[in-house]
């Protein structure tokens, strides 16, 4: 049986997306998502999460130039955990990113 790994997230770009080209084109960007959290006093406050996104190949070359700071996007892709050891301390580190399969810019067309 194959496991399912699908992530869908909507948020705003924190800065313009970046494209790096070597053997394979790789696009990088971060989106911010907000959610309302109830505080101990009963009031609600927004809490932001920052999600790193990667996109690869020809799709990266096409979509990255269109992704500008503040744009509202919907990203559909899969979660990937990256692991490494920190130089100097040898401490194990990790982060989870989304590898995008589809990106829709709201107010624009689906690319």
Report pTM.
0.83
- Would the pLDDT of 108 be above 60? no
- Domain segments of the chain as ranges: 7-105
Helical ranges in the chain per DSSP H: 57-63
Model confidence at 9, pLDDT cuts 50, 70, 90, reads: very high
Q: What pLDDT was estimated at residue 43? A: 87
Q: Which CATH class is domain 7-105?
A: mainly beta
CB atoms within 10 A of CB 71: 19
- Would the pLDDT of 69 be above 50? yes
Q: What is the pLDDT of residues 31-50, one digit of tens each?
A: 999 988 888 888 888 899 99
Compute the average pLDDT of residues 43-59: 94
Question: In whole angstroms, how far apart are CA 56 and each of 24, 25, 28, 86?
Answer: 7, 6, 9, 26
């Amino acid at each position: 049986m194959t496991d399912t790994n699908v992530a869908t997230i909507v948020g705003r770009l924190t800065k313009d997306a970046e494209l790096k080209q070597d053997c394979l084109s790789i696009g990088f960007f971060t989106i911010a998502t907000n959610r309302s959290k109830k505080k101990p006093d009963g009031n609600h406050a927004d809490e932001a999460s920052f999600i790193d996104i990667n996109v690869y190949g020809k799709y990266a070359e096409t979509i990255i130039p269109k992704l500008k700071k503040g744009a509202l996007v919907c990203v559909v892709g899969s979660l990937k955990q990256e692991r490494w050891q920190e130089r100097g301390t040898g401490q194990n580190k990790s982060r989870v990113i989304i590898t995008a399969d589809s990106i829709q810019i709201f107010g624009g067309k689906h690319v």
